[in-house]
Structure 1
């Protein structure tokens, strides 16, 4: 058996089996990995700030801040930034969301009245009623009852999930602190898991994954903030209600590739249509122009070719992520796919040219 090991190791089926096994283990550990991934992302985002603070000299250059102090200051700056977002954006956002939810039935009624008005003006547009109207009504009522039950169950499950998530979020800054403080030791620890002959290749893979993730996290952070700012200002200028809600939603939608623009635009068009049908056209045009600029100019400038994933791979990754983990799966689908791409490029054909 051992004499056939080189051929088995080079087999495509063997490699696919290893990838599948690793993916399955990661899937089973998803609940544990989420705080870890968030901490890694935070560490990558704060790394340039930590380096900048560590270079600051005080007392006419006589005192240089230690890296630990620089990390603590960077984390404090991040916490202040989060508190500012909560105070100036999140709290007003909740107020706008509450107002939006209160107006939601009125928006739907207004939309229906507009449809009714068009039907009265042109009776030919009135749809034919189904032959069994009572059956239709009963079916809708049953669906509504089932929907309400599902929502209530999801609320209970979400409440438990929120408690677990809060516990996980508490450890994120602590993990990020140690990632920033001891990243060289952690990198060396990972490399030392491999045989001496493979350590050089392992170091190359680890470094490329680090560069890819760093570029993605920083680029995506900038893109999201730009989108939130532009959408907030643009919708406010167009006179659309709830610009902060739409801007915050744009920040979240920007983290989802491919379908993010559609996710960001639909609520805005719906709100605008509730105000005036012609406003919906203006909003749709605004989103179309902005996201075209985003895709063709802003994103290439900020992201470059660091991820380098084919659109088909992106879409498949998003579908798998959405199926397994919902919205969070879609958010993390691209960086995970980028890591797999690095592993494929570096390791899939490694050693094949040296073995007979």
Structure 2
């Protein structure tokens, strides 16, 4: 009877927790990002804690502030390398006229339209005139102004998010036991040892996962940029590589989105090239490079960086990412694996006596 009541209580608790997380999801995302920030900064925090000059040691508050400043400068330094290049590329793309784009792709568009008409796949003609009308529609002032309004809205929300994450991250860095004490106050005394084990395992695995992601983004950026630059002579190689590295954080869809973005950038900035003899082959080689990069990532990078973190069946991971993507979109897909890892750690510690739980967590 006690086991039944415990199971019912656990289920009700999980349902209530999921409901609260959903209602306050923005705050919880800030907290999670702050915890991740503190995990990434913990090695430097520990290093600063070892610095002693006679009897003087850096206060934890000052050490936490130094760590945050170093991390901010690192991120700003990375983006300062790419933002000017992206801005320059945006100016080049924005200066392209609709007629110029339509004229460059007129012949292949007419062929494509004729192919659709021959097989009666559509009654609409996707020719030069249709393409030009679509481009002009996209570049209408109203839509452009709407895009700028959306951008300013996103920037406002981004500022709030950055401030919130840095503010909470400071306290998590200053007091490494803060999160543990908060959670221990929320559970009965009998469950405190379980909470400590869960937190220790979570910190260990998430630290590996976060550093693995940083290395993965850097490798994808480097390999794509170098390959596009030296094998194909593409001027925008660094921008394409950087965007590919960031998009690679999105499971399954990210590499495809990066490849499509790379092809679009190359096509729009090389309208003077002949479509069939130069532009199309170059686009094909870009797709080949991205495909090789994806194979390298799947067969070497991910097993080496994440082998001891996830330890889950590929089908299991696919289902988790699909569910997270359905519920929360791109954000859900990005945080699916670390969230699932944490849930498995919790389940292993609290419900390992159940067969389904022991089966899902046996490799942790």
TM class, shorter-chain normalised? 0.7 to 0.9
Matching residue of 2:358:
none
1:52 to 47, 50, 54: 47
Rounded Cα–Cα distance in structure 2 between residues aligned with 1:318 and 1:108 = 39
2:304 to 277, 301, 306: 301
1:233 to 226, 245, 259: 226
Matching residue of 2:187:
194
Structure 2 unmatched ranges of 5 or more:
271-278, 356-364
**Is the alpha carbon distance of 1:100 and 1:286 closer, same or farther for their aligned partners in structure 2, counting shifts above 3 Å?**
same
**C-alpha contact 1:44 1:218 (8 A) present in aligned 2:** no
Rounded Cα–Cα distance in structure 1 between residues aligned with 2:314 and 2:11 = 22
**C-alpha contact 2:172 2:178 (8 A) present in aligned 1:** no
2:332 to 306, 326, 329: 329
Matching residue of 2:239:
245
1:34 aligns with 2:29: yes
Q: How many angstroms does 1:163 deviate by?
A: 1.6
Rounded Cα–Cα distance in structure 2 between residues aligned with 1:224 and 1:314 = 20
Q: How many angstroms does 1:101 deviate by?
A: 4.4
1:347 to 325, 350, 355: 350
Q: How many angstroms does 1:94 deviate by?
A: 1.7
1:6 aligns with 2:3: yes
**C-alpha contact 1:309 1:338 (8 A) present in aligned 2:** no
**C-alpha contact 1:318 1:329 (8 A) present in aligned 2:** yes
1:82 to 66, 75, 81: 75
Matching residue of 2:89:
96
Matching residue of 1:72:
65
Matching residue of 2:117:
127
Structure 1 unmatched ranges of 5 or more:
none
1:208 aligns with 2:201: yes
3-state SS of 1:207 partner:
helix
**Is the alpha carbon distance of 1:196 and 1:312 closer, same or farther for their aligned partners in structure 2, counting shifts above 3 Å?**
same
Q: How many angstroms does 1:304 deviate by?
A: 2.7
Aligned length: 338
**Is the alpha carbon distance of 1:338 and 1:103 closer, same or farther for their aligned partners in structure 2, counting shifts above 3 Å?**
farther
1:290 aligns with 2:290: no
**Is the alpha carbon distance of 1:94 and 1:200 closer, same or farther for their aligned partners in structure 2, counting shifts above 3 Å?**
same
Rounded Cα–Cα distance in structure 2 between residues aligned with 1:334 and 1:109 = 45
Rounded Cα–Cα distance in structure 2 between residues aligned with 1:171 and 1:127 = 55
Q: CA RMSD in A?
A: 3.7
TM-score (normalizing by structure 2): 0.78
3-state SS of 1:127 partner:
helix
Rounded Cα–Cα distance in structure 2 between residues aligned with 1:323 and 1:100 = 33
Deviates more, 1:201-210 or 1:341-350: 341-350
Rounded Cα–Cα distance in structure 2 between residues aligned with 1:108 and 1:316 = 41
